[in-house]
């Protein structure tokens, strides 16, 4: 709310040169937000060397006890008013194992993952007025069980392991639909255990994770980037969390 403040600053000469019939000169200044400052003195020339900002600050300091800032008049808002549900035990860290399948170079492969999630603001998932969401960080590993033939022609299963890190948001679509997905994140992975010929050394992986609204399936499009930046190829994983 814009307050209209009229501040009178009286400028006195040493012996108050006003006579009873003398009329002082008045200067009115229009300020921003509709405020006005009125200066009254013996003549207009007496205003030339005035530091107006300093005088206004001193005047406001003198009457600060009578001024009620807008923020102080508001009543404190309770947690029940802010949130549709209160989390009694907010655990910022959660361990999330996962299983699924991955498509690598047109070859399907079983997948297992173990991730540590850090989310200190889980309570924001139940916000009433703002978007009900919270941000999380993931750090973990994912293991691909790729089947291929060795030099003797015998089919073996090679386990390739990626270390991963990601950041994302989780949205509450239960009370009201916010988006068409419950979760979205993106991250980076690095090959820490290489077996077989599916991946080259120093391979990176760029990926995103999308969870459709009210679904337990996690879609994870991927892009594998070898260290020499050659033979870049896409992949796709489908995951299901076992806990968390």
Question: Are 154 and 124 spatial neighbours (Cβ–Cβ below 8 Å)?
Answer: no
Q: Is residue 79 one of the residues assigned to a domain?
A: no
* 26 and 95 housed in the same domain: no
Which pLDDT score is estimated for 16?
Answer: 40
| 108 & 172 share domain | yes
Assess whether 60 and 172 both reside in one domain. no
Same domain, 51 and 89: no
In a structure prediction context, what are the per-residue pLDDT tens digits for the chain, which is 244 residues long?
444 434 444 443 443 444 444 556 676 666 666 667 676 766 666 666 666 666 667 766 766 655 555 545 556 767 767 878 888 877 899 999 999 999 988 889 999 999 999 999 998 888 888 888 999 999 999 999 998 887 777 889 999 999 999 999 999 988 777 788 999 999 999 999 999 888 998 999 999 999 998 889 999 999 999 987 888 999 999 999 987 5
C-alpha 183/C-alpha 218 separation (Å) is 9
* 37 within 8 A of 28, measured Cβ to Cβ: yes
Burial class (CB in 10 A: 0-12, 13-18, 19+), 148: middle
Shared domain check, 196 and 89: yes
- The gap between the terminal CA atoms of the chain, to the nearest Å, is 46
Residue 61 shares a structural domain with residue 173: no
Q: CA angle at residue 140 from 139 to 142, to 5 degrees?
A: 140
Q: Which domain holds residue 21?
A: 6-73
* CATH number, residue 96: 2.40.160
């Amino acid at each position: 709310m814009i307050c209209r403040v009229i501040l009178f600053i009286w400028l006195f000469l040493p012996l108050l040169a006003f006579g009873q019939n003398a009329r002082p000169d008045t200067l009115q200044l229009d300020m921003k937000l509709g405020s006005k400052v009125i200066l009254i003195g013996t003549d207009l020339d007496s205003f030339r060397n005035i530091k107006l900002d300093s005088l206004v600050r001193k005047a406001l300091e003198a009457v600060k006890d009578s001024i009620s800032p807008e923020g102080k008049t508001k009543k404190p808002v309770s947690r029940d008013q802010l949130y549709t549900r209160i989390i009694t035990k907010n655990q910022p860290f959660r361990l999330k194992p996962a299983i699924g399948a991955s498509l690598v170079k047109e070859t399907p492969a079983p997948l297992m993952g173990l991730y540590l999630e850090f989310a200190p603001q889980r309570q924001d998932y139940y916000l009433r007025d703002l978007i009900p969401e919270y941000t999380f960080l993931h750090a973990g590993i994912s293991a691909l069980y790729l089947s291929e033939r060795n030099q003797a022609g015998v089919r073996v299963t090679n386990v390739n392991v990626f270390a991963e890190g990601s950041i994302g948001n989780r949205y509450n679509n239960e009370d009201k639909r916010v988006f068409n997905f419950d979760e979205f994140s993106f991250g980076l992975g690095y090959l820490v255990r290489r077996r077989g010929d599916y991946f080259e050394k120093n391979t990176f992986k760029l990926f995103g994770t999308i969870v459709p609204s009210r679904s337990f399936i996690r879609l994870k499009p991927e892009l594998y980037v070898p260290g020499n930046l050659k033979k870049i190829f896409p992949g796709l994983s489908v995951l299901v969390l076992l806990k968390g």
